[in-house]
Amino acid sequence: MAPMATPEEGTPTEQDQLRISRRIDRFFLGAIGALSLVATAGLVGYYAGNNQTSYPGHMPMMGNYAGAPAPQTVTVAMHDPGCHSFQVGTTFQKRLSVTGPVNLRNSDEATLKIAGSSGTVKDAVGQIVALTPGSYRLTMVGQAPDDNTLHLGVS
pTM confidence score: 0.54
Q: Please give the CATH architecture assigned to the domain spanning 72-154.
A: Sandwich (2.60)
- Which value, to the nearest 10 degrees, does the dihedral of the CA atoms of residues 94, 95, 96, 100 take? 110
Q: Domain residue spans in the chain?
A: 13-51, 72-154
Mean of the per-residue pLDDT values of the chain: 78
Q: Is the pLDDT reported for residue 129 higher than 80? A: yes
Residue 130 has what pLDDT?
87
Q: Is the pLDDT reported for residue 10 higher than 70? A: no
Omega before 133 within 30 of 0, i.e. cis: no
Q: Express each pLDDT in 35-79 by its tens digit.
A: 888 888 887 777 666 554 444 444 445 445 555 677 888 888 887
Residue 2 has what pLDDT?
55
Q: Is the pLDDT reported for residue 150 higher than 80? A: yes
Q: Express each pLDDT in 98-110 by its tens digit.
A: 887 888 898 888 8
Amino acid at 59: M
Residue count (the chain): 155
Region 75-92: mean pLDDT is 81
Task: Name the CA radius of gyration of the chain, rounded.
Answer: 31
Higher pLDDT, 44 or 32: 32
